[in-house]
Structure 1
Amino acid sequence: MVREQVSLPPFQVLVDEHWRDVARLARALAGAVDGDDVAQRAWEKAFAAYPKLTSAKNLRSWLLTITARCATDLHRARRPQTPLEDAPPVTVAGPDAADWPDPDLWKAVNELPERQRFAVTLKYVGDLDHHGVAAALDTTPAASRRLVSDALATLRTKFGEDHE
């Protein structure tokens, strides 16, 4: 099988253009403490996969998908592998609400179920469309719409329609 040659920009150009987006999404999904580690891991994975890309379309979405998956891996790694009797529940912190413009809103986002939290963060912090959110969460665009819709419904109920 012969691979078609793809014209990709130098990896440093990709980093220069998108490092803020990757850092912001990593911090939103993993929190202030782990966000830098998630971003670093995402860049490592992107660098390793970059020469094998078969398309130069939407590299930003590709990077944000890798970032979301690295954050998911972090959350999964922190969950206990076997249930422990009488053990307190494990909580994984999302973004530190105090670091965002509307701390009450981000505190509520942190309290959403994990997949809803990731979906709404990818949509509104990562600025991905539902196809991008679906790719990052390994689901369908319809499921992505539902996750975002359910998250927004929960937030609207908590804050009412007027919260800005």
Structure 2
Amino acid sequence: MPPRRPDAHLPPFERVVADHGPTVLRVCRAMLSAADADDAWSETFLAALRAYPDLKPGANIEAWLVTIAHRKAIDVHRVHGRTPVPTETLPERASTTDLPGTGDDELWGEVAALPFTQRAALVYHYLGGMPYAEIGELLGNTAEAARRAASDGRAALRRRYSTETGSVK
């Protein structure tokens, strides 16, 4: 007698698609536009095909497929939420803070010219009020490395700003 396959208790996947495909499509269409629903339906069955051999005996296949479809629909919504909306022109907004474009553009230009780690440490600490331990974690460094990056950034700004403008020593 040949060894039993782990998926021997499951009907052929083609029959699962034929039996439950319309239900999954209705779920996708209820949550998404028609074009997105078709894509989510396909993604649902691709994901299900990969996981199908490991499905437990007696599992509710339709509920399992609807759960996958629901998650695929959420993925589509997330993608659409991250997609920028093109516009002809950007709206002008007056700033109420002393940030780039609202005052000392020369200084902000110098800050922008700093290496990323120095700029990030300065901005997170002085504008964001974050302690160096959190900055280090955020940048994948230690608190000491974040403190050093901020110190190096301040020193570079002092050198550049005083050399170019002659106003700070």
TM-score by length of 1: 0.45
Q: Which has the larger radius of gyration?
A: 2
